[in-house]
Amino acid sequence: MNTNIAHAKSIGLVLSGGGIRGMAHIGLIKAMKEQGLDAKIISGSSVGALVGALYANGNSVEDMLQFFKDTPLFQYNFFAIGKPGFIDTERYFNIFKGYFPKDSFESLEKPLFVVATDLLKGEEKVFAEGKLIKPLLASAALTPVFSPVEINKTLYADGGVMNNFPKEYVDGKADFIIGSNVSIAGEVQKKDLKNSLQLAGRITGLMIYAASYGKLKECDLYIEPKELEKIGMLDKKGIQKAFTIGYDHGSRALEGELKMKN
């Protein structure tokens, strides 16, 4: 792999899951644009898949942020009745259709790999062709908040469960790989582990982070902003803050890389 970003013929971009913290991915993309850098291939899980799809679709940074501001995470009429999960994920379909009217991977400007979890087989599933919106909804269907999405008689949910940092799908397809991880497993206090729900969340977070850590370190350049720990996964008030954190970290990392290589 070519480790000189200034002379790389192609850049691969890997975007992790992590809820609203994923707005940091958009900040990184803005920093890349300012440096004249454009990824040729993208892989993402959960919110990383959504940001990756918008980027691959040619949407501006402003449009990407607006998408997440417009998406009504907790509208009461979106609550699921008779479905697993609190929110009926498929009710978002029409919102997504406004951004992806052709509803296909082939209509995107760049190759995109979207990871979801097959709940029936208990395995990872990658989508890269055919219909786009349902795989995106499935990848971002954070359990247990959002209901699973049915595709070809199989139920799919959050891609982060099986593969929160799907670097393997860009390996060998780009000269230089940039990674962005927003699922941070930082230090917590004893008061943060008072009940079984908090404990389960902490254990799950640590498992996801451990599975991603090695792959993140294999990237030619990556950001993993620790400040994101203070932003809740579903805190819509954190959109602008997470974006700014990602932009600041991305700018510093890219400037340092370009300065070192030139």
* Number of domains observed in the structure of the chain: 1
For 61, the domain range is: 11-260
Which among 144, 102, 97, 152 is positioned nearest to 127, based on CA atoms? 152
**pLDDT band of 207, cuts 50, 70, 90:** confident
Q: Is residue 57 part of a domain?
A: yes
Number of C-beta neighbours around residue 151 at 10 A:
18
Q: In the prediction, which pLDDT does 202 show?
A: 75
Q: Is residue 3 part of a domain?
A: no
**pLDDT band of 242, cuts 50, 70, 90:** very high
Residues 192, 209: Cα–Cα separation, whole Å: 18
pLDDT digits (tens, 9 = 90+) for 135-159: 999 999 887 778 899 999 999 999 9
Task: Answer for the pair 112, 53: CB distance below 8 angstroms, yes or no.
Answer: yes
Q: What is the token pair recorded at 71?
A: 């998406």
Q: In the prediction, which pLDDT does 76 show?
A: 47
pLDDT digits (tens, 9 = 90+) for 6-21: 788 999 999 999 989 9
H/E stretch holding 253 reads helix 239-261
pLDDT digits (tens, 9 = 90+) for 26-53: 999 999 999 999 999 999 999 999 999 9
pLDDT of residue 185 exceeding 50? yes
pLDDT of residue 1 exceeding 50? no
Q: Is residue 6 part of a domain?
A: no
Q: Which residues are catalytic?
A: 46, 158
Q: Is residue 170 part of a domain?
A: yes
CA-to-CA dists, residue 132 to 40, 126, 144, 147, 215, angstroms: 18, 12, 23, 18, 26
Number of C-beta neighbours around residue 109 at 10 A:
12
